Structure 1
Amino acid sequence: NIRRIAELGRLFVDAGLIVITAFISPFRADRALARGIIGEDSFIEVFIDTPLAECERRDPKGLYGKARAGLIKNFTGIDSVYEPPLNPEIRVGTLEQSLPEVVSQILAYLDKRSSVS
């Protein structure tokens, strides 16, 4: 799934568009594959760093509870591993930062990056 998303994203990037995607991508190898497909110069990894307990607290559909009850198998963070990024370009700390702070952080990164290019 991540490979298909990356291939589609690359098509849009090649057309000169800015592409933002949000996907559960628990494995470093899959994220590295996406980076390779899209290209080092165009890929920006944003790590939404939220503790598991907070994800469970915020869960509007009750999926974590179902996973803990064994009703959903291979659920990331419960019975399937999550490999956090080692060197994301941007780390968003959802417990420490407000939405306006996160937006400012991402825009500042993009501004800095575009002035370097």
Structure 2
Amino acid sequence: MSYLVKSDRADVNRAGRVFDAHHRRARYDPAWKDLTIRRYVPALRQNLAEMKAGQLGALRADVAAKHDRKIKGINKMEESILLGQHLLMLPSLPPRERELKDEPGLAPCAIGGSVSACRRP
């Protein structure tokens, strides 16, 4: 399926294909960010404002307030507090992953490390 989609937009990975600077920067420069999606922000804000206006907005606000009260009540329950404390005491890595991390020869990025540390230009 992926090949068909890429073929349709003329973006198939082929041997000998030349990639431009944008392609390399997008994949290998951790400081570079593609912010082109921000062009949708004004329209999204306008549509959200329209959705939250009028009777629908009042109903949404009421449901959100009830939800917030319920969550606050749950978080005050003794069971919830004990569960939170228990979760904080658990190790951050599963047992087998901790063992793998200690094995020699594994790169830090292979076990929970930074992805950018594994990238090679």
* RCO higher in structure (CA 8 A, sep ≥6): 1
Structure number, greater radius of gyration? 2
Shorter-chain TM-score range: under 0.3
Q: TM-score, normalised by structure 2?
A: 0.19
Q: TM-score, normalised by structure 1?
A: 0.19
Task: Determine which structure has the larger helix proportion and give its number.
Answer: 2
